[in-house]
Amino acid sequence: MNLRGLNTLLYKELLRFYKVWLQTLLAPIITALLYFLVFAHALEEHVQVYDGVSYTAFLIPGLIMMSIIQNAFANSSSSLIQSKITGNIVFVLLSPLSYLEFYLAFLLAAMVRGIAVGIGVCVVAVAFVELPVHSVTVLLAFALLGSAVLGSLGIIAGIWAEKFDQLAGFQNFVVLPLSFLSGVFYSIHSLPPFWQGVSHFNPFFYMIDGFRYGFFGVSDVNPWRSLGVTAVSFAVLGAITLFLLKRGYKLRH
């Protein structure tokens, strides 16, 4: 393992989003806060999902995880597509880095950004409502695995896309629908039976439901099942990403 090369590429990726922190960190925190204020104001008096848990409190974990996964995806995918379009990806490919080191650097940077935004959303949200914590271990497990899943998916999207339009289409037609239809704003038990069944095929649902269990100790499905689905999703996407990097798919022309 070329640790110096890995650390250098990781530092470059961290610096890339840190230099524009108003866009990469502050903006998504404000967006999540707007969702929180609008939905909490509109539905607080009308919806209660779990006994003893207000709708405002129920909403926060979903918004935190949604922010984590969306920003993890955005970081790795945008970095790769920018490098491909500007042509500086060649300097990374020519460096003495293996495909595994390449993957780890982009993945870890995506996870750092996603979790940083999630922490920011949590800090802002708890100023409005008291949020219990049932298990810190569960919260960390789902935050790390969830950001890793979307970081890997972002690398795949960045490798596949050849222009920004294709990447935007991937995000708008895959990532956004799956994240919004994953139980961020509702419990799937409020849905008709057919749509409850459909929701169980959405891996984002398990990330958010398991993460919410870490706060309240209650969830729509067994948290171990959620953890297993999330872990398997990461293993599958990680294997696909490493295969594409090893083959040099759409990177080495």
Is the pLDDT confidence value at 202 over 90?
yes
Nearest to 168 by CA among 69, 72, 81, 67: 81
Task: Give the highest mean pLDDT range of 28-42, 81-95, 140-154.
Answer: 140-154
User: What integer pLDDT is reported at residue 224 of this predicted model?
Assistant: 95
Judge contact between 80 and 159, C-beta under 8 A. Answer: yes
Residue 242, CA distances (Å) to 100, 120, 180 in order: 7, 31, 28
pLDDT in tens, 97-138: 999 999 999 999 999 999 999 999 999 988 888 888 999 999
**How much is the pLDDT for 253?**
63
Contacts of 168 (CB under 8 A, 6+ apart): none
Which pair of structure tokens corresponds to residue 215? 């706060």
Residue 145 has pLDDT above 70, yes or no: yes
Query: For residue 95, which of 6, 13, 15 has the smallest C-alpha distance?
Result: 6
pLDDT 10s digits, 1-52: 788 989 999 999 999 999 999 999 999 999 999 998 888 777 766 666 777 7
Residue in 76, 82, 70 with CA at minimum distance from that of residue 208: 70
Distance CA 147, CA 189 (A): 26
Q: How many other CB atoms sit within 10 Å of the CB of residue 119? A: 16
CA distance 170 to 70: 12
pLDDT band per the 50, 70, 90 thresholds, residue 153: very high
Q: Look-up: residue for tokens 């090369």?
A: 5
